[in-house]
């Protein structure tokens, strides 16, 4: 039986990491004492599926035709799909490790960070492991998160990771735990809603809490037209006019289950397309095992 679109997306990281670890020596694959038990969880989807090419008019004047961008489906009401948020991982040693990681990131201490990276660091994307096995773990992590960016965004990403308390196990592979953990929801029902609305799994997110306000315009002072429940929500970014520069805004456009179009503060909406930092715990403690995303 074929998997749903959401189910396929939630299976990719497991496949990627399983393939990466399968290439390791047998000793490295053997679970060591103190490794964490696996558990269910969602993983990082690769984003919207590719669309079939549009028909193009004949080439005139020697100019190649331009492929049309995918146009979002018109807004419509949809069945609410309940979301259960991941809970903080209950392990004091992980809490202490995250504090250590946060302190290192705040100091931008590259040498100390290198000591937190385990052997056989992986960097998984849609096309497999991108890590350069000839380079050190710190060099591969630095490349994955752009640690040397002049604006400090790489270190900020590590600070955000250190503040993230949720973890999920990679199915079928004991020991590897990735963060942030995704929410739980009925993937088959979500796939049906995506089909009903003409959307892709990459077009959906979820609120970080219930009761998030949906405004009539991208302004905090705009009237509240609805409040979101703890359900999947359709993300429908505005398309800038041709030739117009994109403008940054703290708001993101959404379609509520009732079919209303409004704006929500982006900080309250989590994407299903989230990169993850992965860890492993052994007798020596926690280590950064890899990174998934940024393809």
In this predicted structure, the answer to whether residue 17 has a pLDDT above a threshold of 70 is no
Is pLDDT larger for residue 240 or for residue 169? 169
pLDDT given for residue 265 in this prediction: 96
Residues 91-140 pLDDT 10s: 999 999 999 999 999 999 999 999 999 988 999 887 888 999 999 999 99
The answer to whether residues 41 and 17 touch, using CB atoms and an 8 Å cutoff, is no
Superfamily the domain 203-271 falls into: SH3 Domains (2.30.30.40)
pTM over 0.85: no
For the chain, which residues make up each domain, given as ranges? Answer: 85-182+274-292, 203-271
Residues 126-143 pLDDT 10s: 788 899 999 999 999 999
Q: Is residue 295 very low, low, confident or very high in pLDDT (cuts 50, 70, 90)?
A: low
Cβ burial of 243 (10 Å; 0-12, 13-18, 19+) is exposed
pLDDT given for residue 10 in this prediction: 56
**Residues 246/250/254/256 CA torsion (nearest 10 deg):** -170
In this predicted structure, the answer to whether residue 224 has a pLDDT above a threshold of 70 is yes
Is pLDDT larger for residue 70 or for residue 31? 70
Q: Distance (Å, rounded) from C-alpha 156 to C-alpha 282?
A: 27
What is the domain class of 85-182+274-292 according to CATH? alpha beta
Secondary structure element (H or E) that encloses residue 98, with its range: helix 92-107
SS3 125: strand
Peptide bond between residue 136 and the one before it cis (omega within 30 degrees of 0):
no
Q: Distance (Å, rounded) from C-alpha 260 to C-alpha 226?
A: 8
SS3 23: coil
Which stretches of 230-295 are assigned E, i.e. beta strand?
233-235, 251-255, 261-265, 269-271, 276-282, 285-292
The answer to whether 85-182+274-292 and 203-271 have equal CATH topology is no
* Crossing angle of the two packed helices 153-162 and 92-107, in degrees rounded to 10: 160
Residues 158-181 pLDDT 10s: 999 999 999 999 876 678 999 999
Residues 198-221 pLDDT 10s: 999 889 999 999 999 999 999 999
């Amino acid at each position: 039986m074929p998997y749903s679109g959401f189910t396929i997306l939630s299976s990719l990281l497991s496949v990627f990491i399983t393939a990466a670890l399968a290439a390791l020596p047998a000793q490295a694959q053997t679970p060591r004492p103190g490794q964490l038990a696996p558990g269910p969880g969602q993983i990082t989807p690769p984003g919207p599926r590719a669309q079939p090419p549009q028909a193009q008019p004949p080439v005139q004047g020697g100019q190649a035709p331009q492929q049309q961008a995918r146009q979002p489906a018109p807004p419509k009401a949809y069945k609410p799909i309940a979301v259960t948020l991941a809970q903080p991982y209950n392990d004091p040693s992980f809490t202490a490790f995250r504090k250590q990681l946060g302190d290192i990131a705040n100091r931008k201490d590259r040498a100390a960070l290198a000591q937190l990276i385990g052997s056989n660091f992986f960097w998984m994307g849609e096309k497999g492991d991108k890590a350069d096995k000839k380079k050190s773990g710190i060099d591969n992590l630095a490349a994955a998160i752009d640690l040397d960016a002049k604006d400090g965004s790489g270190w900020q990403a590590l600070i955000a990771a250190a503040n993230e308390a949720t973890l999920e196990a990679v199915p079928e592979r004991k020991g590897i735990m990735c963060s942030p953990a995704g929410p739980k929801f009925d993937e088959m029902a979500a796939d049906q809603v995506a089909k009903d609305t003409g959307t892709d799994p990459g077009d959906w997110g979820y609120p970080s809490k219930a009761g998030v306000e949906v405004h009539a315009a991208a302004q905090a002072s705009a009237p509240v037209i609805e409040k979101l429940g703890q359900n999947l929500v359709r993300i429908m970014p505005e398309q800038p006019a041709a030739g117009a520069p994109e403008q940054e805004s703290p708001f993101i456009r959404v379609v509520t289950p009732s079919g209303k179009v409004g704006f929500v503060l982006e900080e309250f909406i989590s994407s299903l397309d989230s990169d993850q930092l992965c860890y492993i715990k052994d007798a020596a403690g926690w280590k950064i095992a890899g990174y998934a995303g940024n393809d």
